[in-house]
Structures are given as C-alpha cells and as structure tokens.
Structure 1
Amino acid sequence: MNMRPVGGMAMAVLFGMVATLMMDGVNSVASSVGLIGKLNLAFIGKLMNQWLQGQFWFLRPGDIPDVPEALMMGYGAHYFAGISLAIPFYCLICPRIKSGGGLFVGALTYGLACSLISLCFIYPSVGLGLWGMAGKNPALLIASLANHAVYGVALGGCAIAWRRRMLQKCMPDAAMLH
C-alpha cells in the first residue's frame, strides 16, 4: 500500500474502527442466536480499571470489582485495541502481500493471531486458564477465534477495497485485474 505515512496511518485507524465495528456487529448477531457468547464490554472495562490501578491477576472473574464507568471504559479499551492492532497490519504486513487473495488470507491469519492476546494473557489473568479452558468448556476459545477471524476478514476487506480504489484512480481499466 504505497500511501503517504500520515494518510496510511489515518487509513489504518479508520480500518481498525471498521473492523472492530464489524466484529461487534457479527458478535451481536451470532450471540443473539446462541452461536457464541456475547462480548462483555463492561467486564473489559472493569478489568481495564484494575489494570490502571496496577492489579493484573485474579483468581476468578467475579473477583474484579464493579465500577460505574465500566461499560464506557470497556468500549474505549476495545476500540483502542482494535485500532492499535490495525496499525501494524496496515503499516508492516499489508505492503508485503501483493495479491488480493493473499492479502485476505494474511488478514484472516493476523486476526486469528490477535486472539492470542485474549487466549494467552487476558483469560489466564482473570482465572479462566490458558485458552479460557479452566472450566473445560471451549465456548470462550470458540468465541475469541470467531470474533478475531471476523476482525481479520474485515481488515483484509478494507485493505482490498482500498487497493482497488487506488488502482482505479491510477489506472481505471486495471482495477479489475487486482
């Protein structure tokens, strides 16, 4: 993606927001029909509040105290993460992948790799065990992988759409080749 640095960063921020919105939208639909668990943004906010106070480990999720602004903090942390994780994808990975299909697969792989943050750090830190398997129920593992796969697919879709748009601007007849 040969974009100017500022323009590239702005697009990464925008695409991170879009990918996070897509992840949330698909999660909302999938959780409403019982396919996966719903994202608990209030829980993320409570956890973020404790992290800001220097408390990083808990025996179980119920040990994390409530805070009135938990939902707002959860949204902030969730979208900050979605945007922050989009920046290395667009600045480091995207420029190295040339084809649309390769970019799509790379984005999906990147999204799944992002789930390792939840699976290997966040879940164990709140007493849910590695991969969220402390209770021997794969629901957290499946939800994390599904959510982050959607995030990655959305990142890839944004990148492919952007590349096609840039091609159309440079060479209107070449856009269909990409």
Structure 2
Amino acid sequence: MNGLLTDALLLGLGATAFMDIVALLQKRLLGIPSLNYAMVGRWLGHLPKGRFIHRPIGESAPIQAEMALGWLAHYLIGIAFAIIFLVLVGPNWLARPTLIAALGFGVITVIAPFLFLQPGMGAGVAARKTPQPTTARLRSLFAHASFGVGLWLAGVLVMRVL
C-alpha cells in the first residue's frame, strides 16, 4: 500500500503540474483563460456551510485563503485520480507505462467537473448554462486529456528514475 501511495503522489503531482503547464501555454500563446482556482476554493469553502450550488460562484461571498484552498484541492484531486488510475491499471503499469491507458483515464476524469464542479459553481451540468457550452466542454476535455498525457509522462519519469 505504501508503494501505491508514493507512486500515486509522484504521478498525481506530475500529471497535475503538466496539466497546469499546458494551461499556462494556452493562456500565454493562445489567450485561452484557465480555470480560476480561487473560485474552486470559494466553492469548497462554502460546502461545510451546506451550500453546494452557486448562481454564479463569482457572486458568492469570498472565503479566506480561497486561492490557496483551490490550488491545494486541485493537486489533491490529481493525486486522488492517480490512486484510482493505479488501482484500475494495476501495479505493472509503471513498469511499462502506456499512453493509451493514461490518456483514456484522463479523458474519463472530465466527468468530475461536468457533474460536480460546474453545476456547483453555477455553470450547470457540463457547462450547459455558460454562454458557450461547447467551448467550455472542449476546454475541460482538453485539460483532462492533458492530465492523462501528464500521467503517462510522469509514469515514464518514475519508471526511469526509480
């Protein structure tokens, strides 16, 4: 179990960092805005108060340290996804990391924002209440696909280094 957690920590941090690098490049090179993690922190900060849905999150009261909370949650979710991935693919995946398994899993993880984060932040299921739902969906899909590529790259690095 300890090996699984260590591997998941390395994979989750690496994949999430890769996802963030891709988002930064999209913003700098293409002008595509990335997710504001302060709003994720705000959403999470309101959950203990019993508030799941906001209309929209930007109009809800700020939460102390919401930016830090949002970024922390982003990386913890990446680690949690890596644990799930490693449980699904089995311990031998790290011996020979495959892109197709990691990319497929990354794409599947888009279910989380579609069904939880976006509705909770006031955007509706799969961003249906946004001005351009198809664009929002494609951006989410691309972000999660980049997470999958990051899982694979982190797996290759972990395999070579460890």
Q: Distance in 1 between matches of 2:31 and 2:147?
A: 17
Tell me the TM-score normalised to structure 1 length. Answer: 0.79
Larger Rg: 1
In the alignment, which residue of structure 1 is the partner of 2:7?
Answer: 11
Are 2:140 and 1:129 equivalent residues in the alignment?
no
Q: Distance in 2 between matches of 1:20 and 1:78?
A: 8
Q: Distance in 2 between matches of 1:110 and 1:165?
A: 23
Partner amino acid, structure 2, of 1:33: L
1:135-150 matches, cutoff 5 A = 135-137=130-132, 138-150=134-146
Secondary structure of the residue that 2:110 maps to in structure 1? helix
Are 2:104 and 1:109 equivalent residues in the alignment?
yes
Count of residues in Structure 1 that have an aligned counterpart in Structure 2: 161
Shift in Å, 1:100 = 5.0
Are 2:98 and 1:81 equivalent residues in the alignment?
no
Q: Distance in 1 between matches of 2:129 and 2:159?
A: 43
Are 2:23 and 1:27 equivalent residues in the alignment?
yes
Tell me the TM-score normalised to structure 2 length. Answer: 0.86
1:144-159 matches, cutoff 5 A = 144-159=140-155
Q: Distance in 2 between matches of 1:164 and 1:146?
A: 27
Shift in Å, 1:163 = 4.1
1:92 to 69, 73, 88: 88
Q: 1:115 to 1:50 in 2, by over 3 A?
A: same
Are 2:44 and 1:48 equivalent residues in the alignment?
yes
**Percent identity between the aligned chains?**
27
Unaligned runs of 5+ in 2: none
Larger RCO (alpha carbons 8 Å, 6+ apart): 2
Shift in Å, 1:143 = 1.8
Partner amino acid, structure 2, of 1:29: L
Secondary structure of the residue that 2:109 maps to in structure 1? helix
Unaligned runs of 5+ in 1: 167-178
Deviates more, 1:130-139 or 1:48-57: 130-139
Which contiguous aligned blocks of 4+ residues in structure 1 show a shift greater than 6 angstroms? none
